[in-house]
Amino acid sequence: MPRTCGCALSTAPRRNKPSTLCSPHERRRAEVALRVGITLGPYNRIEQGHAATRINTLTLIADAIGVPLADLVRE
């Protein structure tokens, strides 16, 4: 069964394309993932802390969202 974008009314499959996502937050996440060069699934796992990633990927994410790299790393 295809996953949906999360809207209560949506039955369209989720895709890693900003134009097909419903919420502005989902579009923004997809745009960041595309800028970094990864798909939305791995980006979501990184963002939620469920996946480790390389420092160069974190640097790209920090640049894409406009925050210092230190803001993405726990102490």
What confidence tens digit (pLDDT) does each residue in 18-52 have? 455 678 888 899 999 999 999 999 999 998 989 99
**Which residues are within 8 A (CB) of 6 and not within 5 positions of it... i.e. 6 or more apart?**
14, 22, 23, 26
Residue 58's Cβ-side half-sphere holds a number of Cα atoms within 13 Å equal to 14
Please report, rounded to a whole number, the percentage of residues in the chain having pLDDT higher than 90: 52
Query: How far, in Å, CA of 19 to CA of 42, rounded?
Result: 19
Per the structure, the count of domains in the chain is 1
> Is residue 9 assigned to a domain?
no
Query: Looking at the whole model, is its pTM more than 0.75?
Result: no
Would you say residue 6 lies in a domain?
A: no
52 belongs to a structural domain: yes
The confidence score (pLDDT) of residue 26 equals 86
Instruction: Name the residue range of residue 35's domain.
Output: 18-70
- In CATH, what number is assigned to the domain containing residue 39? 1.10.260
